[in-house]
């Protein structure tokens, strides 16, 4: 698949744009990760990472990027004894997670629509 994609990208001034759009289109079927508070979920099988095949998994990036990552950093820091526990009830954490999931899904949808528009214009121009 990768070899076929590389041949499709080409080497003209639009090759990077084609690469971005096609890579995005091929990765769409993958399930999107969701934030959740483990304290509100009783089924621990929901904590696992399917692709990595690990039973417990957390993911975060730099806390300057997303509020959800700030919460994860604070919770991990507290669990390691490096800071005090955060003063949020688990239901409040879940509400924040739900809000972050909603915003992430909306952002992803806009990104997909933008890629669809670019692809439609590309097909129309290139035939």
Supply the pLDDT for residue 2.
Answer: 67
What pLDDT is stored for residue 29 in this prediction? 61
Q: Which helix (H) or strand (E) holds 107?
A: helix 90-126
pTM: 0.63
pLDDT at position 82 is: 95
DSSP conformation class of 45: G
CA distances from 48 to 26, 71, 107 (A): 24, 20, 25
Q: What pLDDT is recorded for position 56?
A: 75
Radius of gyration of the chain measured on its C-alpha atoms: 19
Task: Return the pLDDT at 27.
Answer: 66
| Predicted pLDDT at 30 | 62
- Consecutive 10-residue runs of the chain (127 residues): their mean pLDDT? 72 81 70 80 76 76 79 89 92 92 91 89 84
Give the pLDDT score at 70.
Answer: 87
């Amino acid at each position: 698949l990768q070899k076929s994609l590389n041949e499709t990208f080409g080497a003209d001034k639009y090759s990077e744009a084609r690469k971005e759009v096609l890579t995005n289109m091929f990765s769409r079927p993958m399930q999107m990760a969701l934030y959740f508070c483990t304290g509100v979920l009783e089924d621990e099988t929901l904590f696992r990472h399917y692709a990595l095949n690990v039973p417990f998994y957390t993911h975060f990036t730099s806390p300057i990027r997303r509020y959800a990552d700030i919460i994860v950093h604070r919770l991990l820091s507290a669990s390691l004894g490096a800071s005090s526990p955060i003063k949020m009830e688990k239901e409040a954490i879940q509400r924040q997670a739900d809000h972050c999931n909603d915003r992430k899904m909306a952002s992803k949808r806009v990104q997909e629509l933008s890629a669809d528009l670019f692809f439609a214009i590309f097909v129309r121009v290139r035939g």
